[in-house]
Structure 1
Amino acid sequence: MKKLFAFTFVALLFSVSVFAQGKLKTGIWRGVLKPAAGELPFNFEVKDTAGRQQLTIINANERFKVTDIKFNADSVFINMPLFDSEFKLQQQGAGLTGQWIKHLGNRDAATPFTATYGDKWRFFKSPEKPFLNISGRWSAVFGEGADRDTTVGEFKQTGNRITGTFLTTTGDYRYLEGSVSGNKLYLSCFDGGHAFLFTATIKDGQTITDGHFGTTPWAAVKNANAKLPDAYSLTVLKPGYKRIDFSFPDLNGQKVSLNDARFKNKVVILQVMGSWCPNCMDETAYLVNYYKKYHNKGVEVVGLAYERTADFEKSKKAVTQEKNHFNIPYPLLLTGYTNNKKETAKSLPMLSNFLAFPTTIIIDKKGEVRKIYTGFSGPGTGAYYSGFVNEFERLTDNLLAEK
Structure 2
Amino acid sequence: MTSTDNTLKPGPWRVVLQAQQQEIPFIMEVEEKDGNPALYLINGEERILVDDIKTEGDSLKIRLHIFDADLIAKVKGDKMEGRFTRNDLKKPYSVPFTAEHGKTNRFKENPAPATYDYTGKWEVVFTKKDGKSYPAIGMFEQRDNHVTGTFLTETGDYRYLEGQVEGDQLKLSTFDGNHDYLFKAAPKDEKTVQGEYFAGLYDYETWTATRNENAELARADSLTYLKPGYESLSFTFPNTEGKQVSLSDDKYKGKVVLVQLLGSWCPNCMDETQFLAPYYAKNKDRGLEIIGLGFERTPGYEQAVPRLKRMQERFNIEYDLLYGGIADKEVAAKALPALNHVLSFPTTIFIDRAGKVRKIHTGFSGPGTGKYYEEWVVEFNKTMDELLAEK
TM range (shorter): over 0.9
Give the greater-gyration-radius structure (CA). 1
The answer to which structure has the higher helix fraction is 1
Distance, in Å, in 1 between the alignment partners of 2:359 and 2:320 is: 21
Distance, in Å, in 2 between the alignment partners of 1:255 and 1:94 is: 51
Give the aligned partner of residue 271 of structure 1.
260
- Aligned counterpart in structure 2 of residue 71 of structure 1, from 52, 55, 64: 55
Distance, in Å, in 2 between the alignment partners of 1:210 and 1:269 is: 38
Q: How does 1:92-111 map to 2 (within 5 A)?
A: 92=76, 94-111=78-95
SS in structure 2 opposite 1:41? strand
- Aligned counterpart in structure 1 of residue 301 of structure 2, from 312, 336, 339: 312
Relative to structure 1, the CA distance from residue 180 to residue 340 in structure 2 (aligned partners, 3 Å threshold; closer, same or farther) is: same
- Aligned counterpart in structure 2 of residue 381 of structure 1, from 366, 369, 391: 369
Relative to structure 1, the CA distance from residue 93 to residue 53 in structure 2 (aligned partners, 3 Å threshold; closer, same or farther) is: closer
Give the CA deviation at 1:73.
Answer: 6.8
Give the aligned partner of residue 160 of structure 1.
145
CA contact (8 A) 1:143 1:216 kept: yes
SS in structure 1 opposite 2:294? strand
Give the CA deviation at 1:50.
Answer: 1.7
Letter in 2 for 1:178: G
- Aligned counterpart in structure 1 of residue 359 of structure 2, from 343, 368, 371: 371
Aligned length: 386
Give the aligned partner of residue 240 of structure 1.
229
CA contact (8 A) 1:305 1:319 kept: yes
Give the aligned partner of residue 185 of structure 1.
170
TM-score scaled by structure 2? 0.95
Distance, in Å, in 2 between the alignment partners of 1:174 and 1:217 is: 19
Distance, in Å, in 2 between the alignment partners of 1:376 and 1:212 is: 21
SS in structure 2 opposite 1:112? strand
* 2:37 aligned with 1:48: no
Give the CA deviation at 1:202.
Answer: 2.6
CA contact (8 A) 2:181 2:197 kept: no
Structure 1 stretches lacking a partner, 5+ long: 1-10
SS in structure 2 opposite 1:256? strand
Distance, in Å, in 1 between the alignment partners of 2:99 and 2:75 is: 10
Q: How does 1:89-168 map to 2 (within 5 A)?
A: 89-92=73-76, 94-143=78-127, 147-168=132-153
CA contact (8 A) 2:264 2:270 kept: yes
Per-residue Cα deviation, 1:348-388 (whole angstroms, up to 9, x for no partner): 11110320000000000000000000000000000100111
TM-score scaled by structure 1? 0.92
Structure 2 stretches lacking a partner, 5+ long: none
Give the aligned partner of residue 43 of structure 2.
59
Per-residue Cα deviation, 1:110-152 (whole angstroms, up to 9, x for no partner): 1111111111100111111111222111001100685111100
- Aligned counterpart in structure 2 of residue 325 of structure 1, from 310, 314, 317: 314
Identity of aligned residues (%): 45
Give the CA deviation at 1:93.
Answer: 6.0
Give the CA deviation at 1:309.
Answer: 2.1
- Aligned counterpart in structure 1 of residue 208 of structure 2, from 216, 219, 222: 219
Distance, in Å, in 1 between the alignment partners of 2:233 and 2:25 is: 43
Per-residue Cα deviation, 1:129-181 (whole angstroms, up to 9, x for no partner): 11122211100110068511110001111111111100000000000000011
Give the aligned partner of residue 393 of structure 1.
381
Distance, in Å, in 1 between the alignment partners of 2:298 and 2:184 is: 33
When the two chains are superposed, the root-mean-square deviation of aligned CA atoms in Å is: 1.8
* 2:218 aligned with 1:208: no
SS in structure 1 opposite 2:22? coil
Give the CA deviation at 1:293.
Answer: 2.8
* 2:259 aligned with 1:259: no
CA contact (8 A) 2:68 2:307 kept: yes
Per-residue Cα deviation, 1:5-43 (whole angstroms, up to 9, x for no partner): xxxxxx99xx99xx5xx5211111100110115110000
Q: How does 1:15-26 map to 2 (within 5 A)?
A: 19=5, 22-26=6-10
